[in-house]
Structure 1
Amino acid sequence: MSRPPETPTIVRHASVREFLDRASDYLGERETEHNLLLGVALALRDREPDDAQVWLTVEQNAAVVGAVMRTPPHRPALSRMPADAASAVAGHFRTIGPPVSGVFGPAEEVRQFSDDYCEPGLHQTRLKLRLWLYRCDSPPPAPTVEVTLRSAVRGDQDQVRELLAGFHRDEVSPPPEDLQAEAGRVIERGAVVAVDNADQPVCLAAIARRSPTGVVVAPVFTVTEQRRRGLASACVAELTRRQFDQGVSFCCLFANQQNETANSVYQKLGYSRVCEFEWWEFDDV
């Protein structure tokens, strides 16, 4: 006879490496949905521990049932987890801290967290962004539009910086502190650009991070005057094909649900919806 489930407990880990040792098997079971936690943790694994960061596992009956990371200035990011686990995470941040002003993750989990974290009369919840997570398991067809595509190179860094700035303006999301340095990292990770007649980048598709067997495509951005020409579709298709050529098992990406054009483009390229993600903000009343 199986024993009843225990109350979920929260374990805070002293380092990213310790977190991965405990959580990687659980996160890897649904690698696509956990691309953010896995990708960021793998990128930070060999750095010195940062006391401002929070790396948690939620455990029940000696098993991991959820995971959370907080890397300031970003909001906590939640993995898939049962409702009582999300409630336990909310209780942890509410009573032990540090206080948070929002949350990001799979829709059901972040709604449960928000309901339990925010106290009536003290907080007001606000949905900032609703996204679809997409996954592609095979190379897409070659683009049919006339476009010149190439790899972004170091000489493109200023133009890539401007494309990144445009992306963050459109998405109303805070850019990295050093956008020039981020442009360099985007180029190093193997971005694809569409260029104009002067060989200047006017559209960008990049790799945001890597998980154990997949990659996350982001950001994707086209300058305003070059839109509706199929450039973003061509860049994403080429970047996706290159990743499969390099041996990844899948590519995934997020799309704002309000951007009907982007959602249509990704589905035509063979990206299928996996689940819904949401970003909630908490405002003091």
Structure 2
Amino acid sequence: MEVRFFDDPAAFLETAGGVLAEQPVLSTVIAGIAERIRAQRAAGLPWPDGVPCWFAAVVEDGQVVGTAMRTAPFGDYPAYVMPMSEEAVHEVSRSLLDRGEPVLAANGALPAVRTFCEDMATATGKRARVAQHTRLFELGGLVEPGRVPGGLRRARGDELGLVASWYAAFMADADEQAGREPGASAHETPGEDELARRIEGGRVFVWADERDRPVNLTAATAPAYGVARVGPVYTPKEQRGHGYASAAVHAVSAWLRGRGERPCLFTDQANPTSNKIYEAIGYRPLVDMANLLVE
């Protein structure tokens, strides 16, 4: 068993793409980010200074038996760990420690991500703890919610400021809804240049009321192996309770499915409201995941 690290996402996908494509919903984050970084590099966009950027494939007898990455540009730069055997996780941990790269945060599938962080905690004399329990859902049979005034449309370029402010508010409000201190969860907030590209790409939507005033933001990633991830989903506090999130997620999910894409999304298990909304639309749980810190 060996761990192969890749600075080039294209080379990583060439090695591990077949395995990722076998379970494309489970692989949505790692495959989607690899594709996005590959496209950004092809467009000549710079990578942020000081932010790690690598992908890893665990290979045993010529077969890829595990994958991971470290590309998150926030907090302690958490790794992302896909499902793999305990032995494979230990091999990834050892390889990183041997090259002098202790990792103090990780997200990903249980139990692999917990084992990874426990390895790092043992090596650094710290403790691993779960900061957030998450769950990956895939859309089953799409169920239409009740009638909600207004309709879905793509965000416009002149709404960039509004979109940016809602992206920035999303995680703090999600923390508050889940009973955490607002802003407690480290997360990426895309800059306006990146958001402008996403708006131009046509995958940032707003639910607009009958006066065409945006009351909800719902976005979707570009597809990787035919799977697109819905999120973030954000409704300002003053607009909540009217069904806008349900209507918007339903409409975006129907749009994705109409394009032949498989919709999926992540939820925070501590937020029963969002979990209930998505399950009512037709999303079904696929795997439990977690975000862990080594402190």
**Could you say which residue in structure 1 is the equivalent of 2:101?**
98
Decide which of 156, 159, 162 is 1:159's aligned counterpart: 162
Q: Are 1:258 and 2:261 counterparts?
A: no
Report the Cα distance in structure 2 between the residues aligned to 1:76 and 1:94, rounded to whole angstroms. 13
**Could you say which residue in structure 2 is the equivalent of 1:40?**
33
**Could you say which residue in structure 2 is the equivalent of 1:16?**
9
Once the two structures are overlaid, the 10-residue window that deviates more, 14-23 or 174-183, is 174-183
Decide which of 231, 241, 244 is 2:254's aligned counterpart: 241
CA contact (8 A) 2:164 2:192 kept: yes
Query: Which ranges of structure 2 fall in alignment gaps of 5 or more residues?
Result: 175-182
CA contact (8 A) 2:3 2:58 kept: yes
Change (3 A) 1:203 1:14: closer
**Could you say which residue in structure 2 is the equivalent of 1:201?**
214
State the 1:116 CA deviation.
Answer: 1.7
Decide which of 140, 148, 162 is 1:145's aligned counterpart: 148
CA contact (8 A) 1:142 1:238 kept: no
Q: Please give the TM-score of this superposition, normalised by the length of structure 1.
A: 0.89
1:102-149 residue CA offsets vs partner (Å, 9 max, x unmatched) = 011002111111222212772122211111100014544264223333
Report the Cα distance in structure 1 between the residues aligned to 2:62 and 2:165, rounded to whole angstroms. 48
Decide which of 109, 114, 125 is 1:111's aligned counterpart: 114
Report the Cα distance in structure 1 between the residues aligned to 2:84 and 2:164, rounded to whole angstroms. 37
State the 1:96 CA deviation.
Answer: 1.6
Report the Cα distance in structure 2 between the residues aligned to 1:114 and 1:79, rounded to whole angstroms. 13
SS state at 1:210 partner: coil
Change (3 A) 1:175 1:159: farther
Change (3 A) 1:14 1:131: closer
Q: Are 1:225 and 2:238 counterparts?
A: yes
CA contact (8 A) 2:78 2:107 kept: yes
1:51-93 residue CA offsets vs partner (Å, 9 max, x unmatched) = 9411110011211000111114331111111111111111222
Q: Please give the TM-score of this superposition, normalised by the length of structure 2.
A: 0.86
SS state at 1:219 partner: strand
Change (3 A) 1:209 1:271: same
Q: Which amino acid aligns with 1:247?
A: G
Alignment of 1:172-191 (within 5 A): 172=183, 173-174=185-186, 176=188, 179-187=191-199, 188-191=201-204
Q: Which amino acid aligns with 1:26?
A: V
Change (3 A) 1:212 1:143: farther
**Could you say which residue in structure 2 is the equivalent of 1:84?**
87
Aligned sequence identity (%): 27
Question: How many residues matched?
Answer: 275
Change (3 A) 1:236 1:62: same
SS state at 2:91 partner: helix
Report the Cα distance in structure 2 between the residues aligned to 1:70 and 1:273, rounded to whole angstroms. 25
Report the Cα distance in structure 2 between the residues aligned to 1:76 and 1:98, rounded to whole angstroms. 11
SS state at 1:45 partner: helix
State the 1:260 CA deviation.
Answer: 0.5
Report the Cα distance in structure 2 between the residues aligned to 1:45 and 1:156, rounded to whole angstroms. 28
Change (3 A) 1:121 1:85: closer
Report the Cα distance in structure 2 between the residues aligned to 1:206 and 1:143, rounded to whole angstroms. 21
Decide which of 223, 240, 251 is 1:210's aligned counterpart: 223
State the 1:175 CA deviation.
Answer: 5.5
CA contact (8 A) 2:121 2:128 kept: yes
SS state at 2:122 partner: coil
Change (3 A) 1:129 1:208: farther
Decide which of 280, 283, 287 is 1:268's aligned counterpart: 280
Q: Which amino acid aligns with 1:170?
A: D
Q: Which amino acid aligns with 2:248?
A: C
**Could you say which residue in structure 2 is the equivalent of 1:31?**
24
Change (3 A) 1:167 1:240: same
Report the Cα distance in structure 1 between the residues aligned to 2:91 and 2:103, rounded to whole angstroms. 15
